[in-house]
Amino acid sequence: MEKSPISPNSRIESREMRNLVVKNMVIAVLAKLFYLGSRLFLPPITLAYVSLEEYGIWAVCFILIGYLGMGAFGVSNVYIRYIAEYHANHQIQRINGLMSTGIVFVSGICVVLMVALWFILPDLISGAFHISPHLQHTAFYLIYGAASIFILELVMGAFIYLLEGLQRFAVTSLAFTIASLLETCLAILLLFLGVGIYSLLYAFIARYIFYITACVRASYRELPGLSVNINNFSTRYLPLFLKFGAIAQAMGFLSIFVQSLEKLIASVTLGVVATGLLDVGSKLATTATTIPAAMTSAFLPASSYLHTQNRKEELSDMYLQGSRSMNLITGLLMGFLVAFAHQIMMLWLGNDPKYLIAVQIMMLFTLPQQTHILTGLGSAIFYGIEKPILTLSYPLLRIGLLLPFGVLYGLELIELTLLNLVAAVTFTTIISALIYLAQINRYMEVSQLKFIWTVLLPGAFPYFSGFISLWILNALWSTPVVDRFSAFSFLSAGGLLYVLTTLPGIYWGIYDSHERAELRVLILRGLMFIGKFIPTLRR
């Protein structure tokens, strides 16, 4: 048998593991940065060609897709966790058995889901979501179409998770980046051609077909000896999906339910227009967090490796340093969003008064999104060490803390408005995340005070820097910000000022000498990597 890309006989030492995790984190973050850039163009262009109600229907699509995604959550963790283990032991046949069994098993579930959705979707559209009669056919087409392509990704995503289990994040990130670019360009082209809201669906389909195809081809290239077919199906692998996978799936269901709860409540009680406004208002904050969230993907296989070798001290150190980096990156993004929220929305969506509430929603969503994303690293480690049940407390806390607000609304003691809903979600998310982080710290044997000082407080610095930058710029800026052009000018100056105040503050005020040295090495390696391609480009 051909040699596997990663030698199973060599022990990955601490420094090598750290470098591998950092490399995978950087690659994942760069891919998400590109994705974030591509996502910024779609909402304002889409809203110029479709109504807010139609855009709200598209947002509703992803509420249902999120629930379908609960299956992907459990299955993906099974693939990544056990492929990493089998590959470390050079057990290619077990990888073949796991992959083949998983694809057959998930396919059967997906067929049942799609048949059930066909029958219940019309009632959901007309009853639960209160969509206008003239748009109900459009809603069915959009939702069922998006769900179908997502189901395809759920089945064939096994090849994506195979590459992640092998820690080949560069391969998946490149395919993801190209697929996202394809989706954005195709959606914009179709909107210009008058296809309307269906443009987003067709572009979504193209993105996933390309992404899946690229990862299938890469899987066979990266893992010689890979063979996925019905002959390799074995019931011996089903317990992995029915036990570890089922627990992970249940946790994923709760997480997705809580994450989409505000949109679900808004769509049922306030209508699809409110759902559209909620989606627009939260879009930048939630999309920005996909950048630091991408870092967590590198920790599941790495934590599985360290846990197998009983290297808990190294795992705790990796958790602490990873949390610090994640919180600083998230704070850097959120600090700018919350300080310059009004000007950002002006540039993004124009000065239409109906979008003013989106500014308040974005400002409210920044801090809870930061605390929520910070919990992801500890959860990834829990999955890597085969203890997914420990993640249960977080979604239960969020639901439990939100229940009193529901009781107050039921007793008509508070009015259910969009801003009241967002404020309630903001409060419950922050408190729940802090309690869950304390639980993670206890398990990882990390001092709570050390975590606050090393991780939480540094992540708050960019907020302070952002508002200082805004205050300085407002004192110097004489032209009123009333349109996209003036907003662009203001944000260009504000962004430069923010970078010049925040980055030196982090480098000299927060980083220690060891972190500064590592950052210099990382930048030097990046410049050397870019420099390799300059002669090629000149030719």
Distance CA 365, CA 354 (A): 19
- Kindly tell me the sign of the dihedral angle through the C-alpha atoms of 159, 164, 170, 172: positive
Distance CA 48, CA 199 (A): 13
Residue 221: half-sphere exposure toward Cβ, Cα within 13 Å: 10
Distance CA 383, CA 522 (A): 29
Report whether 110 contacts 72 (CB < 8 A). no
**Tokens 């996933």 sit at which residue?**
208
Residue 250 in this model has a pLDDT that exceeds 70: no
Percent of the chain with pLDDT over 70: 80
Report whether 29 contacts 329 (CB < 8 A). yes
The dihedral formed by the CA atoms of 437, 380, 518 and 9, expressed in degrees to the nearest 10? 140
Distance CA 275, CA 178 (A): 30
Residue 7 in this model has a pLDDT that exceeds 50: no
Of 95, 74, 380, 362, nearest in space to 225 by CA: 95
Q: List all residues 6 or more positions away from 479 whose beta carbon is below 8 Å from its beta carbon.
A: 486, 489
Give 39-67 pLDDT, tens digit per residue. Answer: 667 777 888 888 878 887 887 777 666 66
**224: three-class secondary structure by DSSP:** coil
In this prediction, residues 70-87 reach a mean pLDDT of 73
Angle at 64 between CA 61 and CA 68, to 5 degrees: 125
Give 101-157 pLDDT, tens digit per residue. Answer: 989 988 888 888 888 888 888 887 877 666 778 888 888 888 888 888 888 888 888
Output the pLDDT for position 36. 65
Burial track 35-51 (b if 16+ CB lie within 10 A, e otherwise): bbebbbebbebbbebbe
Distance CA 208, CA 216 (A): 12
Distances (CA, A) of 515 to 179, 296, 325, 477, 503: 34, 20, 10, 36, 14
Residue 57 one-letter amino acid: I
Residue 336 in this model has a pLDDT that exceeds 90: yes
Output the pLDDT for position 533. 45
Residue 237 in this model has a pLDDT that exceeds 90: no
Of 193, 489, 186, nearest in space to 340 by CA: 489
Longest dimension (CA), the chain: 73
**Tokens 């601490």 sit at which residue?**
14
Report whether 385 contacts 450 (CB < 8 A). no
Of 121-125, 318-322, 344-348, where does mean pLDDT reach its minimum? Answer: 121-125
Question: Model confidence at 9, in pLDDT bands (50, 70, 90)?
Answer: very low
Q: List all residues 6 or more positions away from 415 whose beta carbon is below 8 Å from its beta carbon.
A: 409
Residue 535 in this model has a pLDDT that exceeds 80: no
169-192 helix and 14-49 helix, angle to the nearest 10 degrees? 10
Distance CA 490, CA 95 (A): 54
Distance CA 76, CA 112 (A): 19
In this prediction, residues 423-428 reach a mean pLDDT of 87
Distance CA 421, CA 264 (A): 11
Output the pLDDT for position 415. 75
Output the pLDDT for position 517. 84
